[in-house]
Chain A
Amino acid sequence: MTRFLPFILRNTLRNKRRTLLTVLSIVVSLFLFCTLRTVITSLAASLESASSARLITRRSTSLTFFLPISYRDRLTQIPGVEDVSWATWFGGVYIDERNFFAQFAIDPLRYFEIYPEYRLTAEEKDTFRRERTACIVGEKLARKYGFEVGDRITLRGTIFEGVWDFTVCGVAQPATPDLDTNWLLFNGEYLNQSLGDWGQVGTFVLKLADPDRAGDVARIVDETFANSAAETKTETEKAFQLGFISMLGNIQAVIYSLGTAIVIAIVLVSMNTMMMAARERTREIAVLKALGFADRAVVGLVLAESLLITLVGGVLGAGLARLVFDLSDFTAGGFFPRFTVTDGTVAQALGIALFLGVVSGVAPAWNAARLRIVDALRHTG
């Protein structure tokens, strides 16, 4: 087939503008496909990082209501609970709303013991526990804004009104690169004392002695606080995060629908291109057949031309998506911990390009194979 390559290439570039526009439409479509699929894989990746050895306990009515910090002691005594910590969503604004990242007021004593995957030095942990306004920033956030130990960060509270000043006392390093570190955690005592010994927290985090007993422990926790003023809902960390995602609706179905629509649209575009290209060359195809090119060879030439166009578009589209999102460190305003186009997504995009090439080439190839030389050459006499 390689001996036909110059011929296929020449044919592909015969109508440069049309080929360029077709390739560009495939590039744009597959770039979009990669982006949409990366939304799904990024959400899945964030779930993967959730531990099955931790439970999250929150107010049963809504996450926007708080739990008494006094629950901590009772939670510690429940069989199967090895350690307890807590965190409260702060929701502050850094400079302006565009600089979105997660902020939590956390238990200064136990939080990093329950989350060992975020690495801090003993000195950083010690400072964090001692200093009321101390905060820890994740490595990604530090890199994004250039935060260093000793820097002051000011947040404008939206849930907890006022201006809040923090001093960076450490930068948490993730144990694995897929972990989200686009966050700021500050000493929860600062929030508690500023609100006049508030005594409330957003969620408790329970470290389990045996992850296999997660269901039993969650049930016991919720039974313990049943019929109280602040009933609880306890679930695994993964289920908790899944709950956030499901709040956004059936994202996967929407994304797959969009992806399918994109693929169908581009199939029609590339089919049209190939049909036009083949129709314009009816006489030439007849000449090739007269010269001795068998039906199979003609089919091969038409399909190869179609595949060349769609695969070039596929490689460029998937490559561009990978390049853009990897280089730009895109996180959709902090919504996604990591927005990385995976090898699987690239492979799927190339698979679609291959599918496009075959589907859009089949009809003109079939027509070329069925073409009667005599009819195409319009012999009379």
Chain B
Amino acid sequence: MSVAAGQPIIALRGVSKTYRRDTIAVPVLAALDLDVAAGEFLALMGPSGSGKSTILNLVSGIDTPTSGRVVVAGVDLGGLDNAALAAFRARHVGFIFQSYNLIPVLTAFQNVELPLLLTSLDRRERKQHVLDVLDVVGLHDRSDHYPRQLSGGQEQRVAIARAIVSDPSLLVADEPTGDLDAVSAAEILDLIGRLNREFGKTVVMVTHDPRAAERAHRVLHLDKGVLVESVRRERP
């Protein structure tokens, strides 16, 4: 199911999330309403424990709310079982992690190919897709390299290639520049921005870095599970 640009690709309605630590209930989100438009670049900011990563987890279908509805790309995630959620993630969500999370025993090519192993594409088609996205992230010539043979910035670019290889509509990025130096961080943010502008990917990014947040169309500040500020920027 596709969502037209400008229409909400993400809709959170009255979403609450409470974690249990032993017998203690720890509320993280409280009756949150949030819409994210298709093609939007949204940054989530806030102190640790404010609930920003929880929002990321909920919209990407790796966690479920305690109450409320989460609808992404027209799919109500509350009605999906584990297998359907996995299929949803494979189809709609690309993950970009702070620590890249590449498989160390696989080459860049093989890491990027992983999501495609779940599709019906044959070997030749998979190869073409992988080389195309490695081209997009500027690592075509590093396809045979293992993660240990790449710099941090290059590893993150491979991770981004893996996130977009199955052409998901939504990219969720959790501190994508947290482990990088300033130059590499800027390059990664440029790349994410380009994916948003040129390829129409909706981006939801958690960050502590105001310079990273500046790249977003909208910045949401959270505190103790509540939206405290929303800053909208003009699209470049």
**What are 14 of the A-B contact pairs (CB < 8 Å)?**
A10-B106, A283-B101, A290-B62, A290-B89, A292-B87, A292-B118, A294-B83, A295-B86, A296-B83, A373-B63, A379-B56, A379-B174, A381-B48, A381-B49
A292 touching B46, Cβ below 8 Å: no
B115 touching A295, Cβ below 8 Å: no
B82 interface residue (CB < 8 Å to A): yes
Name the 3 nearest CB pairs between A and B, nearest first.
A292-B90, A381-B53, A294-B86
Q: Which among B49, B97, B106, B162 is the interface contact of A377 at CB below 8 angstroms?
A: B97
Contacts of B123 in A (CB 8 A): 3
Interface residues of B (CB under 8 A from A): 46, 48-54, 56-57, 60, 62-63, 82-83, 86-87, 89-91, 93, 95, 97, 101, 103, 105-106, 110, 114-115, 117-118, 123, 162, 166, 174, 206
Query: Could you tell me the distance between the alpha carbons of A250 and B198 in the complex, rounded to whole angstroms?
Result: 79
Query: Could you tell me the distance between the alpha carbons of A214 and B171 in the complex, rounded to whole angstroms?
Result: 86
B95 touching A290, Cβ below 8 Å: yes
B57 touching A292, Cβ below 8 Å: no
Contacts of B166 in A (CB 8 A): 292
Query: Could you tell me the distance between the alpha carbons of A11 and B104 in the complex, rounded to whole angstroms?
Result: 10
Known: A14-B105, A284-B101. A295 touches B82 (CB 8 A): yes
Please encode chain A, from 276 to 308, with 1 for each CB lying within 8 Å of some chain B CB and 0 for all others.
000000011001111111111100000000000
Contacts of B86 in A (CB 8 A): 289, 292-295, 297
Contacts of B162 in A (CB 8 A): 291
Contacts of A293 in B (CB 8 A): 86, 90, 118
Give the Cβ gap from A13 to chain B, nearest Cβ, in Å.
Answer: 8
Query: Could you tell me the distance between the alpha carbons of A343 and B126 in the complex, rounded to whole angstroms?
Result: 42
B46, B97, B103, most chain A CB atoms within 10 A: B103
A6 interface residue (CB < 8 Å to B): yes
Known: A283-B101, A381-B52. A4 touches B117 (CB 8 A): yes
Contacts of B82 in A (CB 8 A): 294-295
A115 interface residue (CB < 8 Å to B): no
Closest to B165 in A: A291
A99 interface residue (CB < 8 Å to B): no
A292 touching B83, Cβ below 8 Å: no
A7 interface residue (CB < 8 Å to B): yes
Contacts of A291 in B (CB 8 A): 89-90, 95, 114-115, 118, 162
Closest to A381 in B: B53
A62 interface residue (CB < 8 Å to B): no
> How many residues of chain A have a CB within 8 Å of chain B?
27
Query: Could you tell me the distance between the alpha carbons of A287 and B115 in the complex, rounded to whole angstroms?
Result: 11
Give the Cβ gap from A37 to chain B, nearest Cβ, in Å.
Answer: 37
A380 touching B48, Cβ below 8 Å: yes
Query: Could you tell me the distance between the alpha carbons of A296 and B46 in the complex, rounded to whole angstroms?
Result: 37
Give the Cβ gap from B60 to chain A, nearest Cβ, in Å.
Answer: 7
A323 interface residue (CB < 8 Å to B): no
Known: A292-B86, A292-B89, A295-B86. A380 touches B117 (CB 8 A): no
Query: Could you tell me the distance between the alpha carbons of A287 and B174 in the complex, rounded to whole angstroms?
Result: 13
Give the Cβ gap from A264 to chain B, nearest Cβ, in Å.
Answer: 31
Please encode chain A, from 303 to 342, with 1 for each CB lying within 8 Å of some chain B CB and 0 for all others.
0000000000000000000000000000000000000000
A7 touching B97, Cβ below 8 Å: no
A374 interface residue (CB < 8 Å to B): yes
Contacts of B117 in A (CB 8 A): 3-4, 7
Contacts of A3 in B (CB 8 A): 117, 123
Closest to B88 in A: A292
Please encode chain A, from 1 to 44, with 1 for each CB lying within 8 Å of some chain B CB and 0 for all others.
00110110011011000000000000000000000000000000
Contacts of A7 in B (CB 8 A): 103, 106, 110, 114, 117
B50 touching A373, Cβ below 8 Å: no
Query: Could you tell me the distance between the alpha carbons of A284 and B123 in the complex, rounded to whole angstroms?
Result: 23
Query: Could you tell me the distance between the alpha carbons of A205 and B101 in the complex, rounded to whole angstroms?
Result: 79
A379 touching B91, Cβ below 8 Å: no
A14, A284, A291, most chain B CB atoms within 10 A: A291
Closest to A6 in B: B110
Contacts of B48 in A (CB 8 A): 380-381
Query: Could you tell me the distance between the alpha carbons of A6 and B162 in the complex, rounded to whole angstroms?
Result: 17
Known: A11-B105, A293-B86, A294-B83. A288 touches B174 (CB 8 A): no
Query: Could you tell me the distance between the alpha carbons of A381 and B26 in the complex, rounded to whole angstroms?
Result: 12
Contacts of B115 in A (CB 8 A): 291-292
Query: Could you tell me the distance between the alpha carbons of A322 and B209 in the complex, rounded to whole angstroms?
Result: 66
Please encode chain A, from 364 to 375, with 1 for each CB lying within 8 Å of some chain B CB and 0 for all others.
000000000110
Query: Could you tell me the distance between the alpha carbons of A3 and B91 in the complex, rounded to whole angstroms?
Result: 19
Give the Cβ gap from B127 to chain A, nearest Cβ, in Å.
Answer: 12
B53 touching A380, Cβ below 8 Å: yes
Query: Could you tell me the distance between the alpha carbons of A293 and B162 in the complex, rounded to whole angstroms?
Result: 14
Query: Could you tell me the distance between the alpha carbons of A292 and B83 in the complex, rounded to whole angstroms?
Result: 9
Q: Which among A14, A297, A374 is the interface contact of B62 at CB below 8 angstroms?
A: A374
Q: Which among B46, B62, B206 is the interface contact of A373 at CB below 8 angstroms?
A: B62
Give the Cβ gap from B46 to chain A, nearest Cβ, in Å.
Answer: 7
B83 touching A379, Cβ below 8 Å: no
Contacts of A10 in B (CB 8 A): 103, 105-106, 110
A381 touching B206, Cβ below 8 Å: yes
Query: Could you tell me the distance between the alpha carbons of A294 and B89 in the complex, rounded to whole angstroms?
Result: 10
